[in-house]
Amino acid sequence: MESIAERVSQAAIAIARDEYPLLDGVAAPPHPLPEIPADALVVPAHRTGWVQQFPLRAAAGCLPPGSTAIRHVVAGGHVAVGAPLATVWPAPARPAEVIRALQDRCDLGSTRTMQDDVGFGVTQMVDIAARALSPAINDTYTGLTCVDWLGDALVKLGSEPADTGGWSNDANQVRLVVPALHFDRLLKGAFDLIRQAGADSPAVLIRILDAIGTMAPMARPEHRDALRSHADLVIETARVNGLVSGDLADVDERYLRALRAFGE
């Protein structure tokens, strides 16, 4: 179990670094996003499905020299046929070729996969933890292991910029803006269901607070509010579920320790 969780955690980090160049220190894009001209080319989805892959470099390679583009979708997102995959300007001389090339680079399928999908790795670990914490299985150790590895991934991702997107530049000075990696969504996706499944387990709530306390000193300022709010949710869960006084005192102590990590 631990080796599986470790592999999933490491895969999620590797995918994030590949899909979001800003994680490796590439210069931040302009804010706000560049204004899209009225005659820009919109590339529609060729079918309905989950975005399994839409590689950044491959997409940039489809653009004519001097183009700017916004990629509207990320791996793990669900799109309907006809929804915009990307917008390109200035409008290319051969629009049909550019549309076909970008559609060919965007793999849409009936299921999510781990290929380029950061969130799917998180979801897999959460599913394992939630099942382990169910009354039918009651395997707290596996749930705690998943929290540890989720925390490991979030520590790394939470220390990275929360920019609007990243520029990919090639020899033709093509510019491609990609959607941001939303740390707050990853945090909620990682811990909300586990917190709810382990609401009556002080060990689970303490482990989540420990993970938050570990992340806090390394998190960027724009991520700290999300972490702080989640710590509040954990202690509220403990109090609402009426843990016995000794267990509640243990969770309370860990909550205060997490707050000290925020400098409070």
DSSP 93-120: SSHHHHHHHHHHHSEEESS--SSS-HHH
Q: CA-to-CA distance for 186 and 166, rounded, in angstroms?
A: 19
Q: CA-to-CA distance for 163 and 199, rounded, in angstroms?
A: 34
Distance from first CA to last CA of the chain, Å, rounded? 36
pLDDT of residue 121: 78
pLDDT of residue 27: 39
pLDDT digits (tens, 9 = 90+) for 161-204: 544 455 555 555 777 777 766 788 889 999 999 999 999 999 99
Name the residue with tokens 């970008």: 102
Which runs of consecutive H residues, i.e. helices, occur in 20-82? Answer: 56-60
pLDDT digits (tens, 9 = 90+) for 86-140: 999 999 999 999 999 999 999 999 998 877 677 787 888 899 899 999 999 989 9
Structure-token pair, residue 245: 């006084």
Q: CA-to-CA distance for 41 and 110, rounded, in angstroms?
A: 27
Given a contact cutoff of 8 angstroms between Cβ atoms, the answer to whether 13 and 153 are in contact is: yes
Say if residue 15's pLDDT is above 70.
Answer: no
pLDDT of residue 209: 97
pLDDT of residue 5: 61
Say if residue 224's pLDDT is above 50.
Answer: yes
Q: Which residues pair with 176 in a beta bridge?
A: 69
Model pTM above 0.85: no
More confident residue, 67 or 21: 67
pLDDT-wise least confident of 50-59, 167-176, 179-188, 211-220: 167-176
Q: Report which residue type is found at 98.
A: V
Q: CA-to-CA distance for 12 and 154, rounded, in angstroms?
A: 10
pLDDT of residue 9: 64
Given a contact cutoff of 8 angstroms between Cβ atoms, the answer to whether 194 and 134 are in contact is: no
Say if residue 47's pLDDT is above 90.
Answer: yes
pLDDT of residue 118: 72
Question: pLDDT grade, residue 154 (50/70/90)?
Answer: confident
Given a contact cutoff of 8 angstroms between Cβ atoms, the answer to whether 95 and 62 are in contact is: no
Say if residue 7's pLDDT is above 60.
Answer: yes
CA neighbor of 79 nearest in space, from 182, 183, 179, 181: 179
Coil vs helix vs strand at 87: strand
The residue extents of the domains of the chain are 118-162+181-261
